[in-house]
Structure 1
Amino acid sequence: MDKNEIEQAIKEVKAGDIDQFGIIIDAMQKPLFVYCYHMLGHRQEAEDAVQEVFLKAYEQIESYRQEVSFSAWMYKIAYHHCLNLLNRAKLGRVVTFLKAGLPTVSRHEGEERIDREYLSNPLHLALSKLSASERNLIILRVVEERGYDELSLLFHKKPAALRKQYERALKKCKSHMLVLEGGDDHDTISAVR
């Protein structure tokens, strides 16, 4: 779906045609899921996050302006939502630690296996060692293939500053991968570029 079709759907949603939001969901659901999955590291959490992001986007659609691409606007909502979830998870770990000894609820075996296999991937482990903002920048730049000009509108920073921030985050990610792999495997590291 091209940008003009999405912009037209947005105009119609703003005019009250709720059904047109389905077009937006169809266009953005998969990329947002991939983004949330990389940010959160768990399939179920990513699925829930995408639903919440769409709900927030629908509620805030009147605030969208065309100065920034709609996808960038959606990623900004997704970033802040994932950041809130990550912060809550940290708080949850502290509470769990303080309540040690209480029984825990186990997750579905298939979900645990998928998460275990994904989370054991050296690239994902290296990404998880980065800050949320560094991980966000790498995911948007590499996985979503967003340009620095679009990212500058999203982050309110100059493209050159984002390029430097990206280079530092990438270098940090590569060094974490080297440590995790215990050597110098250029094939895996080049996957991050």
Structure 2
Amino acid sequence: MEKKEIELLLQAIKNGSLEQFEIIIDHYQKPIFTYCYHMLSHHQEAEVAVQEVLLHAYEHLEQYTTALSFSTWLYRIAHNYCVNVLKRRKLSRWLPFLYKQDHGGSVKEHSDRPNREESLERIWNRLSAEERTLVFWRVLEEKEYEEIAELLDKPPEALRNQFERVLKKCKRYLPTMEGVAANGQKSV
């Protein structure tokens, strides 16, 4: 969907056409779910996150400006939501009497996975939310640093340097990281 088409839909929604928001939901639901799932590593939490992100976007649509693309604005909302969930998780480890830990439905359900996949999962869990975001958009979504810079409100060169540091960090934990080239592109 092109930016102009999205802007027309958003204007119709602001004018009271709730039906047009269904088109927005259909278009962005899967990519936002994918991002939230990679951030949270939990299917049910990612589903809840998508609902919360899209609801927040609808309720705060008047705050959206065309300075950012709508996609970037949605991802920013998703990023903030996921960071808050991860903070609550971290806090729940320290204050177990205040929070219940839910391990049901987690990515860790499968005990028969190869050891390498488990190692990658452990590395992924050691990354901060911002590092996960950077890796997700750079490697999995193949976004340019300029696009990521809009979301994280950081200079592209700083993100490039941060990405290189994250790769080095990952390589320390797993000496042979096949599938990711030094420049962050998928290797074949």
* TM-score of the pair, normalised by structure 1: 0.81
Which residue number corresponds to residue 164 of structure 1? 161
Distance 2:160 2:143 in 1: 12
Q: Would you say the 8 A contact 1:79–1:136 is kept in 2?
A: yes
Distance (whole Å) between structure 2 residues aligned to residue 172 and residue 24 of structure 1: 37
Q: 1:121 to 1:5 in 2, by over 3 A?
A: farther
Aligned to 1:181: none
**Whole-angstrom CA distance in 1 between matches of 2:11 and 2:48:** 26
**Which deviates further from its counterpart, 13-22 or 140-149?**
140-149
Distance 1:162 1:59 in 2: 31
Unaligned runs of 5+ in 1: 179-183
Aligned 1:32-47 pairs, distance under 5 A: 32-47=32-47
Greater helix percent: which structure? 1
CA contact (8 A) 1:177 1:189 kept: no
Structure 2 stretches of 5 or more lacking a match? none
Identity value in percent: 45
Instruction: Name the aligned partner's letter for residue 33 of structure 1.
Output: F
C-alpha RMSD over aligned residues:
2.6
Aligned equivalents of 1:67, 1:4: Cα separation in 2 = 13
Runs in 1 of length 4+ with deviation above 6 angstroms?
none
The residue that corresponds to 1:187 in the other structure is 178
For each residue in 1:59-113, what CA deviation from the matched residue of structure 2 results, as whole angstroms up to 9, or x when unmatched? 11111111211111111100100011111111222222x58xx9x8773xxx35x
Deviation at 1:153, TM superposition (A): 1.9
Corresponding residue of 1:19: 19
CA spacing shift, 1:155–1:187, aligned 2, 3 Å? closer
Greater RCO, 1 or 2 (C-alpha within 8 Å, sep 6+)? 1
Q: 1:105 to 1:89 in 2, by over 3 A?
A: closer
Which TM-score applies when normalising by structure 2?
0.83
Which amino acid in structure 2 is aligned with residue 84 of structure 1? N
Match in the other structure for 1:116 = 109
Matched residue type, 1:43: H
Residue 187 of structure 1: CA displacement?
Answer: 2.9
Deviation at 1:145, TM superposition (A): 2.2
Aligned to 2:8: 8
Distance 1:188 1:155, change over 3 A: closer
> Which of 123, 126, 130 pairs up with 1:129?
126
- The total of aligned residue pairs comes to 179
